[in-house]
Amino acid sequence: MPVSEWMSLHPLTVTPKTTVGTALRLLREHGIRRLPVIEEGSPVGVVRTEDLLRLTPSEATTLDRYELHDLLQRLTVARAIAPATMVKPEVSLGEAARTFLLDGTEELLVVTDGRLLGILTHSDLLRGLMARREAAPMSEGEAVRE
């Protein structure tokens, strides 16, 4: 089964100039943990919630809420961009699983001709692998575990 069958299509994206405040709001509103970063139509990396939060002042800050808001509107995600692992849509789920394990990546950007088609997360991969397992006939001697 190719990753194109299990990826999330048309993920929300940001540019390196997107503010940290805007990116954090998008992540929170959509219940996601990562955003691909696109520059001139091509993916350049990914920003993750934890990396963006590291750019924000701690709770011990002496900034008032207006200064904090101003700071978050000036900081951009460019400082938090992590390299992204990119795969083609025809890559198999098994190969994607190997890539997750060997590269230690948290997501795979699915790209064709330099354009982002989708994103494959650990959850997407697990759903695909479980569907593949459930569709496969039970081998002789394999017990059903409940």
Q: For strands 42-48 and 34-39, give the pairing.
A: antiparallel
Express each pLDDT in 70-83 by its tens digit. 777 778 999 999 99
Structure-block tokens of residue 6: 């299990």
Res 5: pLDDT: 93
Structure-block tokens of residue 7: 């990826």
**Dihedral sign, CA of 54, 103, 84, 7?**
negative
Q: What are residue 48's phi and psi, to 5 degrees?
A: -115, 155
Predicted TM-score (pTM) of the model is 0.81
Question: Can you name the residues that pair with 141 across neighbouring β-strands?
Answer: none
Which residue bears the tokens 């200064």?
Answer: 67
Res 146: pLDDT: 37
pLDDT band of 55, cuts 50, 70, 90: confident
DSSP secondary structure code for residue 57 in this structure: P
Express each pLDDT in 125-143 by its tens digit. 989 888 877 776 655 555 4
